[in-house]
């Protein structure tokens, strides 16, 4: 049975958060000069996490939130300008 446009739309909506998450992870890896398996271990205790996401792995919203929180905790905060 062929998929309807709505079903394709649902798949697209699920892909968007994963694409953004992967983009954020890749940027973090470059900035921190960290390899993918170290990120996965430190963030989720899963050395294959980033490789899986790169290969199309989906993850739950709770997992995405954990990854975002990890990146935020480890990212440099902008410095305030002296008055």
pLDDT digits (tens, 9 = 90+) for 40-58: 999 999 999 999 999 999 9
Percent of the chain scoring above 70 in pLDDT: 77
Alpha helices of 1-83 — where are they, by DSSP H?
5-32, 36-44, 49-54, 61-74
In a domain, residue 60? The reply is yes
> pTM for the complete prediction?
0.76
Its domain, for residue 44, covers 12-74
In a domain, residue 3? The reply is no
In a domain, residue 81? The reply is no
In a domain, residue 62? The reply is yes
Which of the residue ranges 24-28, 66-70, 73-77 would you say has the lowest mean pLDDT? Answer: 73-77
Domain count within the chain: 1
Residue 63 has what pLDDT? 97
Query: Is residue 50 packed enough to be buried (19+ CB in 10 Å), middle (13-18) or exposed (0-12)?
Result: buried
Higher pLDDT, 83 or 64: 64
pLDDT in tens, 19-34: 999 999 999 999 999 9
In a domain, residue 2? The reply is no
In a domain, residue 31? The reply is yes
In a domain, residue 42? The reply is yes
Asked if residues 25 and 67 have their Cβ atoms less than 8 Å apart, the reply is yes
Mean confidence (pLDDT) of the chain: 84
State how far the Cα of 51 lies from the Cα of 55, in Å rounded to an integer.
Answer: 6
């Amino acid at each position: 049975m062929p998929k309807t446009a709505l079903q394709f739309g649902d798949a697209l909506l699920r892909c968007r958060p994963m694409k953004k998450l992967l983009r954020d992870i890749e940027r973090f890896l470059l900035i921190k000069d960290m390899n993918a398996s170290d990120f996965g271990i430190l963030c989720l205790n899963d050395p294959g996490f980033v490789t899986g996401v790169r290969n199309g792995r989906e993850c739950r919203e709770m997992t995405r939130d954990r990854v975002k929180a990890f990146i935020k905790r480890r990212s440099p905060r902008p410095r305030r300008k002296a008055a």
